[in-house]
Amino acid sequence: MEAHDASRTTSAMLAALADPQNAQAWEAFDARYRPILIGFARNLGYNEHDAAEAAQETVVRFLAEWRDGKYDKSRGRLGAWLVGIMRFRLLDQRRQRATANIGRGESAMINMDDDASMSQVWERERRESVLRESLEELRRTSRSDPKTVKAFEMLVYHTLAPKVVADELGMSLHDVYLAKSRVAARLREIVARLELAYNEEPA
Amino acid sequence: MRRPELTDVGSGDGCMSVERLEAIAAGDVGTPSESGHISFCSSCAELLAAIKGDNAFLEEVKGAGPIRRSLVPPDALDDGPVPGYKLLGELHRGGQGVVYRAEQLATRRSCAVKRMLGGGLASGRARRRFEREVELVASMRHPGVVTLYESGVARDGEPFFAMELVAGERFDAYIRMSVLSTRQIIELFRSVVDAVAYAHRRGVIHRDLKPGNVLVDTDGNPRVLDFGLARPMENSAAGMLEGFGGAGGETVAGEFLGTFAYAAPEQLRGDPDLIDSRIDVYALGVMLYEALSGSKPFSSAANVADLLLQRLEARPKRPSEVREGIDRDLDVITLKLLDPDPDRRYGTADELRDELDRYLDGKPILAREDSFVYVACKTIRRHWVASSAAGIFLLLIVGASVALSVAYAKTDIALGKAQKSLSSLKTSMTNVDPELGRGSSQLGVHEFLTLVTEQVNEELGDDPELLSGILVTLGLVHLGFDDAEGGRDAIERAHAMRSAAYSRSECTTEDLAEVEFALARLRFNLGDFLASERAYQAALALYEDALGPHALATVETQRQLASALRAQGKFADARTNLKLAFERSASLEVTRESAIAKAAILNGMAALGRAEGDVAGTLPLYREALDALAPYVDADDFRVGRTLYSIALMQESLGEKTQATQNAKEAHRILLLRKGPEARSTKEAAALLARLLGEVQ
């Protein structure tokens, strides 16, 4: 199984993590959650470097806690658990900085004591991760109908006028709109599938 | 509820086009009649809602971040002949392939794409040559050598490669158009030599250096292109054999590749044994001569033979005699480069570059040591030359195959002996030189072989061991050309000599087996199958004794024995021997030779089946034999021709006329090429083809 396996359910990933020999499970977990954790910290106002460092520590810490049996699924969603560890890591970073008297201009940071907003930020990051992953899947499968996906990309991402897209790709205007509608439907379907896979509700 | 699709666009009165609905969804205020229509037309209203829903969803998707690279692989949209590249027009069409100006779709950079000429019709050798060019260019990193970007397979299944596109002028055009001093010309030429020297150091000979293969880029730097004819240098003894057209060599003796005007005499003769880095040195000489004097060193000639004579015997004018103001040192360097004797040229491009550096630094050049008196007085070695190109090629092909067979057949003989036999052959062949010996331009292959055989007898009469070896080989070459009578004397003499030597314990069991085998083949070809069977039995017993039951020679002899038995109608004995040969062949090491031997056994089984009247059962065996051969031999190998002939024959009996005709045509083409029009096998194929064409029409 590939490490970056977007369609694997979170529950299956967690089950596989129990096996210390299973490096692939660890890589798959890391590939899914580390970007979300980084996005989460970036949303809180942390710079790329600090966010990446805290995310890495969080994943490592989670793994240790999971294997020690400290993560109790009945006590809440996986996301909440990860956010808990991440918050602690970020606060720890801040404390160290304060001790070392390193100013980092962190005035824009939001209040990390607000659980509701923490949860919102996490949720947004998770959703965006799903969307990005859906686009990746679209890219991986675009060979089957490259012209349709290209028309979609030019129209939606390059915001080119439909007429320009039609001329460039030798399509009718109607087909350009049809391409947009079809890719949107395909993306919806992928997103729905990945949402199920990313489902963090306790089993 | 099912989401409406754009194809569900309403067809009622006043229903709106998708374009209008999209515009309205994007914020366009519709006309009052449009708004009115939407309010009562459910299909338009649903479609508008779906479009708005899509737009909102896609905004959310876009909000997850920009896409870093296109959602569509660069080559996915391209349906051109070369995946990943857009071909923009032909740049050059040469003997080996076509070069296109192209754009690499992924990077949008301009490049040159080279495709093999001939498509699916290209021969195996041409393909291997093409693939070799890819390997060679890929292995080189030098500012003076074009860079290879990528190689792959085009949509038609043929290989291609993409390389740097050099925008510039041909070397000669650049010199003509630029007003360069002699010194600047030498500096520019030195850069070309440096790139060639790099290739030589990497063990690569270009073999087709000429102004058209050197482009001077916009920065004034020359770049060497087109390694399509290049090949690695061969320094080892194995390399020498390869040069004769042996395993791995992509040039057969007598085949000329390159451009006549820039070809060294040894290259014109098509003698692969003499081809080394000095042919590039010679080509550089022609280029330098032209660059300095503005004209070619030799006038054009009517044919290859004249060209060769001219290169060997005519001394070009000194460049300074053609154009004033050229330094005497440059005369000396140029004429040294054009020396007909490779030994008298600079050995490598490195040596030439060093000499040019000495010239540019104002130091004495080494070539001056080669005094004029010496050059004038030296004896130009006369090489045997037939008066027609066909004659040259014929002599070389036969000569090389004899030498190759000798060397292969006698792999265990000491190097000294091999050299002696080769040099004797050379002398023998010199004696059939039309000018020096007894040959003539009308010399046919059989007469030539007979003459060589006589000469070999004279040359090696004092060395029965070597003589018998070469006689066996020459005899087998005769048989190879379906000339049993021509080979009879050589083989019978060799047989008598070896038998006598064996009784005196002066030759090995294997040597005797070899000559028994040759005798058996001779008898078979003469139609005396019983004598052939007995000789094969003797050879088999000797080989089993000398090499054991699982040696290639043993297996091969047993297969041939089965043929002799089959020819006499002894089908059961033939089958027993074939079966044993087949079983024994299973333990042979997998090599080209053993694969060919196994294919021959399959052929033998098929032929036996055919003789027994089992037509339908033999066809798959022939096909299997063809498949077994394919990876190891050229597409136009004579064995392929023979097998195709047999397949065509079977198909004829089965009434499959169209396929039979197709295979017979191919078989005839191959056999004509390999065996010549007079060979029995060629005539058989021609007869079959004539029969089929008569019936098909």
CB contact under 8 A, A132 and B64: yes
Chain center to CA of B212: 22
Smallest Cβ distance to B77: which of A150, A174, A185? A150
- The answer to whether the beta carbons of residues B113 and B134 sit under 8 Å apart is no
Q: Which two tokens stand for residue B194?
A: 């440096």
- Distance of residue A70 Cα from the nearest chain B Cα, in angstroms: 33
- The answer to whether the beta carbons of residues B330 and B292 sit under 8 Å apart is yes
CB contact under 8 A, B50 and A181: yes
- Phi then psi for residue B587, to 5 deg, are -95, 5
- Phi then psi for residue A92, to 5 deg, are -60, -40
Q: What is the DSSP letter of B150?
A: E
B5 touches chain A (CB under 8 A): yes
Query: What are the angstrom distances between the C-alpha of B446 and each of B225, B413, B479, B676, B683?
Result: 43, 28, 10, 11, 17
B4 CB contacts (<8 Å, ≥6 apart)? B43, B46, B47, B50
- Which pLDDT belongs to residue B503? 85
CA-based nearest residue in chain A for residue B52: A181
Average pLDDT over residues B625-650: 87
B72 touches chain A (CB under 8 A): yes
What's the CATH number for B171-377?
1.10.510.10
pLDDT at B233 over 90: no
Q: Which two tokens stand for residue B308?
A: 């060769």
Residue with tokens 């690569």: B204
B6 touches chain A (CB under 8 A): yes
CB contact under 8 A, A178 and B19: no
Range with the largest mean pLDDT of B337-351, B565-579, B668-682: B565-579
The per-residue pLDDT for range B510-551, each reduced to its tens digit, is 889 999 999 999 999 999 999 999 999 999 999 999 899 989
The per-residue pLDDT for range A75-109, each reduced to its tens digit, is 667 888 888 888 888 888 877 776 665 555 444 45
- Phi then psi for residue A50, to 5 deg, are -65, -40
Measured between beta carbons, which residues in chain A are less than 8 angstroms from residue B54?
180-181, 184
Closest CA to B249 of B263, B258, B239, B261: B239
Question: Of residues B452 and B222, which shows the higher confidence score?
Answer: B222
- The answer to whether the beta carbons of residues B231 and B131 sit under 8 Å apart is no
- Which pLDDT belongs to residue A76? 66
With a pLDDT cut of 90, the percent of chain B lying above it is 24
| Number of residues that make up chain B | 697
The per-residue pLDDT for range B477-513, each reduced to its tens digit, is 777 767 788 788 889 988 998 888 888 887 888 889 9
Smallest Cβ distance to B61: which of A131, A146, A177? A131
- Distance of residue B119 Cα from the nearest chain A Cα, in angstroms: 27
Q: For chain B, give the mean pLDDT.
A: 77
- Distance of residue A147 Cα from the nearest chain B Cα, in angstroms: 6
Residue B69 Ramachandran class (φ > 0 left, ψ -120 to 50 alpha, else beta): beta
CB contact under 8 A, B6 and A177: yes
Adjacent-strand bridge partners of A99:
none
- The model's confidence at residue A131, banded by pLDDT at 50, 70 and 90, is very high
- Which pLDDT belongs to residue B493? 87
| CATH for B85-164, options being 3.30.200.20, 3.40.50.1220, 3.40.50.2300, 3.40.1350.10 | 3.30.200.20
CA distance A140 to B682: 55
- Which pLDDT belongs to residue B272? 65
Range with the largest mean pLDDT of A135-149, B283-297, B604-618: B283-297
Q: How many CB atoms lie within 10 A of CB B492?
A: 16
Smallest Cβ distance to B71: which of A153, A177, A185? A153
Average pLDDT over residues B318-341: 89
Question: Of residues B388 and B440, which shows the higher confidence score?
Answer: B440
- The model's confidence at residue B96, banded by pLDDT at 50, 70 and 90, is low
Measured between beta carbons, which residues in chain A are less than 8 angstroms from residue B22?
162, 177
- The answer to whether the beta carbons of residues A27 and A3 sit under 8 Å apart is yes
Chain A contacts in chain B segment 76-105 (CB below 8 A): 76-77
Mutate to test the interface with B, among A136, A174, A176 (most CBs of B within 10 A): A174
Measured between beta carbons, which residues in chain B are less than 8 angstroms from residue A187?
57-58, 61
| Number of residues that make up chain A | 203
CB contact under 8 A, B51 and A181: yes
Range with the largest mean pLDDT of A5-19, B305-319, B398-412, B620-634: B620-634
pLDDT at B416 over 50: no
- The model's confidence at residue B186, banded by pLDDT at 50, 70 and 90, is very high
Residue with tokens 């990945």: A194
CB contact under 8 A, A135 and B64: yes
Average pLDDT over residues B101-109: 80
Question: Of residues B79 and B684, which shows the higher confidence score?
Answer: B684
Ordered by start, the domain boundaries in chain B are: 6-63, 85-164, 171-377, 384-507
- The model's confidence at residue A26, banded by pLDDT at 50, 70 and 90, is confident
Adjacent-strand bridge partners of B109:
B104
Measured between beta carbons, which residues in chain A are less than 8 angstroms from residue B7?
178
Q: Which amino acid is at B206?
A: H
- Which pLDDT belongs to residue B337? 93
B28 touches chain A (CB under 8 A): no
Smallest Cβ distance to B65: which of A128, A152, A173? A128
- Which pLDDT belongs to residue B576? 93
- Which pLDDT belongs to residue B239? 27
- The model's confidence at residue B695, banded by pLDDT at 50, 70 and 90, is low
Mutate to test the interface with A, among B7, B22, B71, B86 (most CBs of A within 10 A): B71
- The answer to whether the beta carbons of residues B257 and B264 sit under 8 Å apart is no
Adjacent-strand bridge partners of B101:
B89, B112
Ordered by start, the domain boundaries in chain A are: 10-197
